[in-house]
């Protein structure tokens, strides 16, 4: 049966500055640039961000390929560490300004809507060393200054802005589970960083309003990795575990972004555990008054949880996982390469959750995708990767998304991670996600079978199942 998507649906893909551009001509190092400089062995095959997918040099050809597969919208990010010359006074780096101007113009020339993000795990490392990074409210204000420069410089052409990508990953990766530099385990700092990132988003939105961007018809949102929580059983203990996992992993950012306040129950738990953040009445007011215009949802896999084996008052480092354990559901369908469960119905659950509990705010799938290793395995004699598994994955997610839209959820787009295979943090180039492959030795880029397939879907604005 034909499944037609809403008019003007955003069909596209997402990437980020630090994962595509390469470090060419960059004045400052971000957290990952620095981490690679001091510990290259922490990165898969010791491949760092130096070249990434060479977007800094090949953006015109790359955008042409994106056009060729029919994308009508693309998200990327402006690197703070590239645009700004003096991080304390927010003066501009000339080459950074030139580069982003040319990139934006090139997207527009190709009739591709450019959705611009301001922060994708790429805090300039100097601001961490000098002030403690996102632990510090001074850095929050410097970020607002950087955002202001972006709005001034590019606001005449960029119509949709995003404050952060997956801020929860900064909290988890840097302050709890040690998968991002500085790899701390510190519950109190983790909570403060979560608060400060929420505050930063609200303060940037406040600035956006002050600058009259809404009057020009521009919009600002945020991108959250919403991983729906599913309890292992309907026992009271598992349901309780799922409730707290949901509070920490999703509602900690979702509620302030849309409702303008933090979930009371979570605040009570963090207070009781002695890890609550420092806040002021004035800041909470800013958060209350500056909510988002639209939401981006990154969805890859569900989060299944069960009651924890340990008691919540256990002694040791504070971790949210004292309230829930991960649950490996027998019989789950897996992407074994990446180690993630495949569960497309979650997209429908997200759609209805937003409709019912989050004001039915306009939203889009800002990332979804399937990371597969050694994709050369699937290359045919013409050098094309036949990624039928990716086509199936996207199709199934789109089918569930379509059902959510039919039931009234206000979803306006779908972006795959990612247009062109790009560099991915510690995993470097291990997992490939793109519609377009990238030979990292030659930088030759080739459209995959999924790239040809999505073009047809976009042209018809519909799926046939």
Judged by the rule CB under 6 A, the positions of this chain that interact with ligand BG6 are 16, 19, 165-166, 225, 298, 338, 367, 371, 417, 424-425, 427, 431
Active site residues: 166, 367
Q: How far apart are the C-alpha atoms of 281 and 30, rounded to whole Å? A: 32
Report which secondary-structure segment, H or E, holds 439. strand 436-439
Count of beta carbons in the 10 Å neighbourhood of residue 345: 15
In the block, residue with structure tokens 């991080």: 87
342, 302 contact by CB (below 8 A): no
Which single residue brings its beta carbon nearest to ligand BG6? 424
Nearest-approach distance from CB 165 to ligand BG6, in angstroms:
5
Q: Which residue has the tokens 């789950």?
A: 332
Contact 260, 287 (CB under 8 A): yes
Q: Which is nearer to ligand BG6, 55 or 262 (CB)?
A: 55
Given the DSSP bridges, would you call strands 160-165 and 113-117 parallel, antiparallel or unpaired? parallel
Which residue, 13 or 463, is less far from ligand BG6 as judged by CB? 13
Closer residue to ligand BG6, CB minimum distance, 137 or 338: 338
Q: Which is nearer to ligand BG6, 110 or 373 (CB)?
A: 373
Tell me whether residue 8 is exposed, middle or buried, using C-beta atoms within 10 angstroms of its C-beta: 0 to 12, 13 to 18, 19 or more: exposed
Residue 374's contacts (CB-CB under 8 Å, 6 or more residues apart) are: none
Q: Give CA torsion, residues 15, 16, 18, 23, to 10 deg.
A: 80
DSSP output for 47-71: --TTTTT-HHHHHHHHHHHHHHTT-
Dihedral (C-alpha) 54, 57, 60, 63: value to the nearest 10 degrees? Answer: 20
52, 122 in Cβ contact below 8 A? Answer: no
Q: Can you read off the two tokens belonging to residue 89? A: 């006074």
Residue whose entry in the numeric block shows the structure tokens 């839209």: 405
| Cβ atoms of 436 and 74 closer than 8 Å | no
State in angstroms the smallest separation of the CB of 19 from ligand BG6: 6
Nearer to ligand BG6, 66 or 287 (CB): 66
Residue found by looking up tokens 């400089």 in the block = 37
Q: Are 463 and 3 in contact (CB under 8 A)?
A: yes
161 vs 154: CA distance, rounded Å: 10
Residue 347 Cα distances to 74, 184, 221, 247, angstroms: 20, 32, 19, 19
**What backbone phi and psi angles, to 5 degrees, belong to 464?**
-110, 130
Q: Which is nearer to ligand BG6, 54 or 165 (CB)?
A: 165
Closest CA to 401 of 415, 387, 388, 390: 415
Q: How far is the CB of 399 from ligand BG6 (least distance, A)?
A: 22
The DSSP symbol for 24 reads T
Q: How far is the CB of 141 from ligand BG6 (least distance, A)?
A: 25
CB 79, min distance to ligand BG6, A: 13
Q: How far, in Å, CA of 199 to CA of 183, rounded?
A: 23
Q: Which is nearer to ligand BG6, 53 or 290 (CB)?
A: 53
Are the CB atoms for 368 and 297 separated by under 8 Å? no
For ligand BG6, the closer CB: 121 or 230: 121
Specify the residue, 93 or 368, whose C-beta has the smaller distance to ligand BG6. Answer: 368
């Amino acid at each position: 049966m034909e499944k037609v998507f809403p008019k003007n649906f955003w069909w596209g893909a997402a990437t980020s500055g630090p994962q595509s551009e390469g470090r060419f001509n960059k004045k400052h190092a971000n957290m990952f640039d620095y981490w690679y400089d001091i510990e290259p062995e922490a990165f898969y095959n010791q491949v760092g961000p130096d070249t990434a997918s060479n977007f800094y040099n090949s953006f015109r050809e790359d955008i042409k390929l994106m056009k060729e597969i029919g994308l009508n919208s693309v998200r990327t990010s402006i690197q703070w560490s590239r645009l700004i010359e003096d991080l304390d006074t927010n003066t501009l780096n000339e080459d950074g300004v030139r580069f982003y101007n040319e990139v934006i113009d090139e997207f527009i020339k190709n009739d591709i809507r450019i959705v611009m993000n301001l922060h994708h795990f790429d805090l300039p490392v100097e601001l961490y060393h000098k002030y403690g990074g996102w632990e510090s409210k001074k850095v929050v204000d410097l970020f607002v200054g950087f955002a202001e420069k972006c709005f001034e410089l590019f606001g005449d052409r960029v119509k949709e802005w995003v404050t952060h990508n997956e801020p929860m990953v900064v909290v988890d990766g840097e302050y709890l589970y040690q998968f991002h530099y500085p790899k701390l385990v510190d519950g109190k700092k983790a909570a403060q960083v979560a608060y400060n990132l929420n505050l930063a988003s609200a303060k940037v939105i406040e600035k956006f309003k002050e600058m009259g961007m809404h009057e020009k018809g521009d919009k600002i949102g945020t991108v959250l990795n919403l991983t729906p929580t599913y309890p292992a059983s309907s026992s009271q203990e598992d349901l309780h575990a799922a409730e707290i996992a949901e509070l920490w992993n999703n509602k900690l950012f979702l509620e302030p972004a849309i409702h303008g306040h933090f979930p009371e129950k979570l605040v009570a738990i963090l207070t009781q555990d002695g890890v609550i953040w420092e806040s002021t009445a004035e800041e909470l007011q800013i958060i209350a008054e500056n909510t988002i215009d639209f939401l981006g949802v990154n969805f890859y896999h569900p989060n299944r949880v069960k009651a924890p084996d340990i008691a919540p008052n256990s002694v040791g480092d504070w971790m949210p996982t004292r309230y829930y354990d991960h649950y490996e559901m027998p019989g789950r369908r897996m992407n074994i390469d990446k180690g993630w469960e495949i569960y497309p119905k979650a997209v429908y659950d997200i759609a209805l959750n937003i409709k019912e509990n989050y004001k039915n705010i306009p939203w889009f799938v800002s990332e979804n995708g399937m990371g597969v290793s050694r994709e050369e395995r699937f290359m045919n004699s013409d050098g094309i990767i036949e990624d039928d598994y990716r086509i199936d994955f996207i199709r199934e997610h789109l089918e569930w998304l379509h059902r959510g839209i039919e039931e009234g959820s206000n979803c306006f787009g779908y972006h795959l991670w990612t247009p062109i295979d790009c560099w991915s943090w510690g995993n470097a180039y291990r997992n490939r996600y793109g519609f377009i492959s990238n030979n990292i030795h030659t930088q030759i880029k080739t459209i995959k079978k999924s790239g040809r397939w999505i073009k047809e879907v976009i042209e018809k604005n519909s799926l046939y199942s």
